């Protein structure tokens, strides 16, 4: 049915930004924030459950890395199509479809675990299947966020969107560890299946302006978007930032089970505490961004340097307490660098390219994870856990130097942000 587009008045060129609480309570952003938080918490419960389960089944860090590889390889392989879907089709409907698909797969994994017929191959296949849905949901979600708030509130929205991911990164692993220790893996997988419905419910009540909905005609191809990224002076270092930071923090996911048992002498479920500490730090970092951070390549480069230094500190740690402390700091630096870079990307990209640019963002943020996980796992197997952490931190330190050198004046309209 053809329906006339809803008339939406243009935003004032210099609209005043809302407070953090004001953005969080907005009609469209509030349900999205809550639904996304529930879904993300479920995802991290599953993440900790599947890595602990595969580690128990095999005793191999490399097998943990293979599961991570399967979970994120779809982001790379499907990038030419996922961005186009986000640009051409109704983002809300497509996002609902990905959540329902994921819920079905994870529920099946819970059933297999309950029947006690789970094995590493089943875990890898499940991770690969959910990863296909993730490949589509990443550009869909990232493209949807700017349509939920005004341009003046975009930095706050991006940071708060990061809060959901990283608060869940703090809560989810800890809850997952408790579930594994008390009621088992089946409950962990089943709760994640239900959590997807939280985001589905939130998406159903959103009121998205018609101008934000993508049409099927006249859209540029992915290669046009790649040319745009290469032509824009700041876009490439921003995507590079996201990529090398993602590589640097890979040990937080892949090495923590082995660090817990072999270095700290703790139970394998201590992985949830370590990963949760990183997430708590990231949540604090996101609040710091909303409150006062200035969007600039210089601040991004500084945060990248801290990421590298803290991951090296994690590799050198000898006790669980030190590991928790340095991963907390790593989480803060991680979210500062990624959120500031993502805000700058959104500020520079046009709506017609947004889905495809965010697909490239997804490749940078998640697409490097499969290769990074395999490299991380191989280094840990051949040279040891500490060497793996040290070497994975080197790219982000080199990237910090590159980004600092590429610093230019900010685009018009992007500057320091203060909050009441």
Per residue in 274-285, pLDDT tens?
A: 988 898 888 788
Is this prediction's pTM over 0.85? no
pLDDT of residue 355: 76
pLDDT of residue 68: 79
User: Exposure of 302 by Cβ count < 10 A (0-12 exposed, 13-18 middle, 19+ buried)?
Assistant: middle
Which of 7-16, 157-166, 319-328 is the least confident region? 7-16
Which of 49-58, 327-336, 345-354, 375-384 is the least confident region? 345-354
User: Exposure of 245 by Cβ count < 10 A (0-12 exposed, 13-18 middle, 19+ buried)?
Assistant: buried
What topology is assigned to 20-206+217-405 in CATH?
Growth Hormone; Chain: A; (1.20.1250)
pLDDT of residue 416: 40
10: Cβ contacts below 8 Å, ≥ 6 apart: none
pLDDT in tens, 367-408: 787 788 888 888 998 999 999 999 999 999 999 999 988 775
pLDDT of residue 24: 76
pLDDT in tens, 288-304: 765 566 778 889 999 99
Q: Give percent above pLDDT 90 in the chain.
A: 31
pLDDT of residue 223: 65
Bridge partners for 416 per DSSP: 294
Q: Rounded to whole angstroms, what are the CA distances from 175 to 49, 183, 191, 256, 304?
A: 10, 11, 11, 16, 29
pLDDT of residue 95: 92
Mean pLDDT in residue range 95-124 = 92
Question: Sign of the C-alpha dihedral, residues 8, 12, 13, 18?
Answer: negative
Hey, where are the domains in the chain? 20-206+217-405
Mean pLDDT in residue range 84-112 = 89
Q: Rounded to whole angstroms, what are the CA distances from 305 to 126, 267, 363?
A: 35, 31, 22
Q: Rounded to whole angstroms, what are the CA distances from 370 to 77, 80, 103?
A: 11, 18, 22
The rounded distance, in Å, linking the Cα atoms of 376 and 373 is 5
Q: Which residue has the tokens 């006062």?
A: 292
18: Cβ contacts below 8 Å, ≥ 6 apart: 26, 150, 152, 153, 156
Residue 25: pLDDT band (50, 70, 90) is confident
Residue 209: pLDDT band (50, 70, 90) is low
Selected residue with higher pLDDT from 12 and 336: 336
| pLDDT value at 336 more than 60 | yes
pLDDT of residue 213: 44
The rounded distance, in Å, linking the Cα atoms of 343 and 146 is 10
Bridge partners for 294 per DSSP: 416
Count the Cβ atoms, other than its own, within 10 Å of residue 2: 3
Average pLDDT over the chain, rounded to whole? Answer: 81
pLDDT in tens, 257-280: 889 999 999 988 788 889 888 988
Residue 412: pLDDT band (50, 70, 90) is very low
Selected residue with higher pLDDT from 296 and 233: 296
pLDDT of residue 234: 74
pLDDT of residue 373: 80
The rounded distance, in Å, linking the Cα atoms of 413 and 14 is 8
Alpha helices, H only, 349-410: 351-362, 368-382, 385-405
Mean pLDDT in residue range 407-411 = 51
pLDDT of residue 248: 93
pLDDT of residue 328: 95
pLDDT of residue 283: 78
pLDDT of residue 267: 86
Mean pLDDT in residue range 83-106 = 88
Selected residue with higher pLDDT from 292 and 51: 51
93: Cβ contacts below 8 Å, ≥ 6 apart: none
Which of 59-63, 181-185, 213-217 is the least confident region? 213-217
Taking alpha carbons only, the member of 402, 378, 238, 400 closest to residue 311 is 400
Selected residue with higher pLDDT from 29 and 291: 29
């Amino acid at each position: 049915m053809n329906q006339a587009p809803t008339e939406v008045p243009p935003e004032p060129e210099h609209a005043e930004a809302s407070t953090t609480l004001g953005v969080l309570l907005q009609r469209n952003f509030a349900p999205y924030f809550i639904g996304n938080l529930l879904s993300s918490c479920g995802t991290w419960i599953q993440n900790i459950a599947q890595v602990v389960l595969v580690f128990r089944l095999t005793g191999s860090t490399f097998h943990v890395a293979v599961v991570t590889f399967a979970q994120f390889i779809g982001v790379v392989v499907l990038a030419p199509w996922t961005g186009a879907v986000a640009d051409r089709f109704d983002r809300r409907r497509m996002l609902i479809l990905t959540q329902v698909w994921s819920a079905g797969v994870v529920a099946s994994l819970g059933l297999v675990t309950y029947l006690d017929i789970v094995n590493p191959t089943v875990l890898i296949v499940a991770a690969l299947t959910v990863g296909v849905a993730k490949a589509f949901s990443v550009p869909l979600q990232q493209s949807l966020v700017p349509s939920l708030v005004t341009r003046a509130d975009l930095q706050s929205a991006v940071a708060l969107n990061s809060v959901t991911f990283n608060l869940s990164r703090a809560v989810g692993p800890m809850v997952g560890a408790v579930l594994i220790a008390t009621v088992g893996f089946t409950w962990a997988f089943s709760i994640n299946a239900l959590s997807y419905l939280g985001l589905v419910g939130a998406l159903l009540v959103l009121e998205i302006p018609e101008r934000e909905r993508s049409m099927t005609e006249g859209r540029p191809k992915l290669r046009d978007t790649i040319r745009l990224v290469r032509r824009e002076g700041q876009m490439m270092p921003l995507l590079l930032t996201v990529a090398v930071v993602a590589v640097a923090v890979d040990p937080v996911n892949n090495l923590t089970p082995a660090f817990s048992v072999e270095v700290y002498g703790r139970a394998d479920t201590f992985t949830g505490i370590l990963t949760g500490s990183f997430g708590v730090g990231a949540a604090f970092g996101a609040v710091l961004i909303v409150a006062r951070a200035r969007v600039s390549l210089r601040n991004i480069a500084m945060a990248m340097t801290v990421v590298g230094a803290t991951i090296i500190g994690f590799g050198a740690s000898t006790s669980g307490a030190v590991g928790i402390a340095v991963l907390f700091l790593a989480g803060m630096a991680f979210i500062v660098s990624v959120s500031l870079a993502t805000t700058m990307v959104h500020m520079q990209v046009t709506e017609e390219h947004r889905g495809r640019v965010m697909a490239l963002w997804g490749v940078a943020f998640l697409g490097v994870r499969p290769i990074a996980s395999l490299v991380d796992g191989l280094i840990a197997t051949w040279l040891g856990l500490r060497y793996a952490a040290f070497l994975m931190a080197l790219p982000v330190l080199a990237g910090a130097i590159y980004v600092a050198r590429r610093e230019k004046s900010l685009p018009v309209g992007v500057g320091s942000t203060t909050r009441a």
